[in-house]
Amino acid sequence: MASPRPGDFPASMAVLGLLIQQPDTVAGLALRLDEEHPNARWPRNIVHNSVPSHVEKGFLRLVRPGAERSLDRYEATPAGCEHFRRSLRESSATLPALRDALRAKLKYVEGLDELQAAIGDIREQEEMCVREGETAMTRYRTARRLGRLGPSDAHDCRTTVRRALMIDEVNLWYERAKGLQRLREHLEDPRGEKDTLDRGGGDG
């Protein structure tokens, strides 16, 4: 398993955190991981890989064998709880890498045909981000309707965090779509007539 980068929160820690919240089977844990982190795109076998590793380190223990491995039930140990809480206290304030595949490829575009293809890719990503934003909005509204986010004046820490994260996810997808739109519009503007910078920039 690859070593996490500074400030990273790997899937294995999410698995441990979910079992600290409540004991569960491997199968149940996989469902909860998808529900709590729908856009993480972690490998499908991450739970099956993480649980034995945590058991070996003494962070988890088997509390009830199941009819098959996916139905084995686990819980966190005191050592696992301490390890997890310590990781939460570590700073995540690292500067994110300003790179992605789309922007990396753009640097090597030559000719109008390749540029038009890149613009088409950006437009497609815009639409995908809008759809993800709509999906995130639906999840938020459903959670609100089912009472999972509590009243607006709730002081429960976990509910407050869940509500804030769900709202933030919606905003992030829509902001990402707007950023892609700006990039596309600049690429579609060969004379630079639409050049704008967020912090009052310009050419000078």
The strands making up 24-25's β-sheet, listed across from edge to edge, are: 24-25, 73-76, 60-64
Handedness of CA 151, 155, 158, 161 (dihedral sign): positive
- What is the pLDDT, as a whole number, of residue 29? 95
Long-range contacts for 76-83 (Cβ within 8 Å, ≥24 apart)?
Answer: 76/16, 76/19, 76/20, 76/23, 80/16, 80/19, 80/20, 80/54, 81/20, 83/16, 83/57, 83/59
Q: What is the pTM of this model?
A: 0.65
Architecture of domain 11-88: Orthogonal Bundle (1.10)
pLDDT value at 2 more than 70: no
- What is the pLDDT, as a whole number, of residue 166? 93
116 against 10, higher pLDDT? 116
- What is the pLDDT, as a whole number, of residue 159? 87
Q: Is-contact 23 60, C-beta < 8 A?
A: no
**92-104 per-position pLDDT tens digit:** 656 556 567 888 8
**122-173 per-position pLDDT tens digit:** 999 999 999 999 999 999 999 999 888 876 555 678 888 889 999 999 999 9
- What is the pLDDT, as a whole number, of residue 43? 86
Q: Is-contact 58 80, C-beta < 8 A?
A: yes
- What is the pLDDT, as a whole number, of residue 4? 47
195 against 65, higher pLDDT? 65
**30-89 per-position pLDDT tens digit:** 999 988 888 888 888 899 999 999 999 999 999 999 999 889 999 999 999 999 988 887
122 against 190, higher pLDDT? 122
pLDDT value at 1 more than 50: no
107 pLDDT band, cuts 50/70/90, is confident
Q: Region 24-29: what's the mean pLDDT?
A: 95
pLDDT value at 201 more than 80: no
- For the chain, the structural domain boundaries read 11-88, 101-187
